[in-house]
Amino acid sequence: QKEVEQDPGPLSVPEGAIVSLNCTYSNSAFQYFMWYRQYSRKGPELLMYTYSSGNKEDGRFTAQVDKSSKYISLFIRDSQPSDSATYLCAMSRVDSGGYQKVTFGTGTKLQVIP
């Protein structure tokens, strides 16, 4: 079993829809949770970064962490065609050497149709 599971999609929605992207994880040691957006042939771009359970909002984006269920979500309100990209969840924990180690999900490909 992978430490981080993410549905690869593709997910296709009409412009203006609310998008829900999710990841589950198996290791309760994960402490930091991140969402990255990656356009085709580009490097990942950090969107949201959270530490604790609960919600964090930034414009049209809301990140949600439920540590008890080992489940994180990214919601995109009023989705735009420019949101079409692959969204990667990532989370980090302290490894045996005492350093933070980041593990990524496989990414969900999102297409917003005008």
Partner 1 sequence: DTGVSQDPRHKITKRGQNVTFRCDPISEHNRLYWYRQTLGQGPEFLTYFQNEAQLEKSRLLSDRFSAERPKGSFSTLEIQRTEQGDSAMYLCASSLSTGGTEAFFGQGTRLTVV
Residue from 26, 46, 53, 54 in contact with partner 1 (CB under 8 A): 46
Residue from 12, 27, 28, 100 in contact with partner 1 (CB under 8 A): 100
Angle at CA of residue 19, ends 35 and 66, nearest 5° = 55
List binders of partner 1 among 13-42 (CB under 8 A): 32, 34, 36, 41-42
In the complex, minimum distance from the CB of residue 79 to partner 1, in angstroms, rounded to a whole number: 22
SS3 content of the chain, % helix, strand, coil (to 5): 5, 55, 40
> Does residue 95 touch partner 1 according to CB under 8 A?
yes
Considering only the stretches 12-20, 43-51, 66-74, 76-84, report the one whose residues sit in contact with partner 1 under the rule CB under 8 A: 43-51
What b/e string do you get for 2-29 counting C-beta neighbours within 10 Å, with b at 16 or more?
eebebeeeeeebeeeeebebbbbbeeee
- Which residues of the chain form contacts with partner 1 (CB under 8 A)? 4, 6, 8, 32, 34, 36, 41-46, 49, 51, 88, 90, 92, 95, 97, 99-107
